[in-house]
Amino acid sequence: MRIALGIEYDGSGFSGWQVQSHARTVQGCVEQAASVVANHPVRIACAGRTDTGVHATGQVVHFDTDADRSDRAWLMGINANLPADVGVTWAQPVSDDFHARYAAERRTYRYVILNRPARPGLFAAHVGFEYRPLELERMVRAARYLLGEHDFSAFRGAGCQSKTPWREVQNLSVEGIDGFINVEITANAFLLHMVRNIVGTLLVAGTGTRPPEWVGEVLASRDRTRAGMTAPPGGLYLVRVEYPSRFGLPAAGPRRSLRFS
């Protein structure tokens, strides 16, 4: 039997998603908790491996088991064995051809920027901080150059193992709410550090250091050294993973903006 789970976590206390022998990871915690409920070792596959310090409200995973448990038993049992900074939001059986990573049609990440002169004290590990005033309209105009299918080499992190730099960005919105700016990006897939590199580049346009059309020039150059700095991990959230309707998974994660006020 194959079981799918929805997962949310505060990434600030983890060394990323993927299991490491001498570090605390989200995968390690979820596998340990699921193994207790299944009464056998469980290995989990996820929709997207997040880096150290990156959060999720809509991560999706799956694992195989011979254990016969109700959906509620999986949900409550795994949560009972998880630490406070990670939790299961739903659980259900899926067909054997479901794969959390390879069956996904698109993923959505949201980056939350706190834009004010004073640094954050309360949400330091959960937002990106920019003290310089940002012009929202400049960022919106700059973001338009990244829509569609392109070679995103200019926004590809060193060490990326993807076979191709081509990705299709289906939506890229920039919205301001009460001193926060949310950059939300939906694509068929992402390169290593792609969202954080895009955000760092949009910040250059937003501060007025470069014009919005410069972002299009960076994209066309395919040169990572021409783009902005990589934004810090704390502001990044995996918020949605979408699959074909035939798998019957719960509705995709929250579409409302993350707010801290």
**Domain 106-238 grouped into CATH 3.30.70.660:** yes
Percent of the chain with pLDDT over 70: 96
Told to judge if 97 belongs to the known catalytic residues of this protein, a careful annotator would answer no
pLDDT of residue 252: 56
Q: Could you tell me the residue ranges of all domains in the chain?
A: 2-103, 106-238
Q: CA-CA distances (angstroms) from residue 43 to 19, 62, 137?
A: 10, 9, 45
**Domain 2-103 grouped into CATH 3.40.50.300:** no
Average confidence score pLDDT of the chain: 95
pLDDT one-digit tens code per residue, 161-171: 999 999 999 99
Exactly one of 10, 51, 85, 223 is catalytic; which is it? 51
In whole angstroms, give the CA distance from residue 98 to residue 101: 9
Which one is predicted more confidently, 9 or 257? 9
Do the Cβ atoms of 67 and 40 come closer than 8 Å?
yes
The residue count for the chain: 261
pLDDT of residue 259: 45
pLDDT one-digit tens code per residue, 147-156: 999 999 999 9
pLDDT of residue 1: 95
Per-residue DSSP letter, 77: H
106-238: same fold as 2-103?
Answer: yes
Among 147, 215, 214, CA closest to 187: 147
Do the Cβ atoms of 172 and 111 come closer than 8 Å?
no
Do the Cβ atoms of 238 and 184 come closer than 8 Å?
no
Confidence of residue 21 (pLDDT cuts 50, 70, 90): confident
- Over residues 241-248, the mean pLDDT reads 96
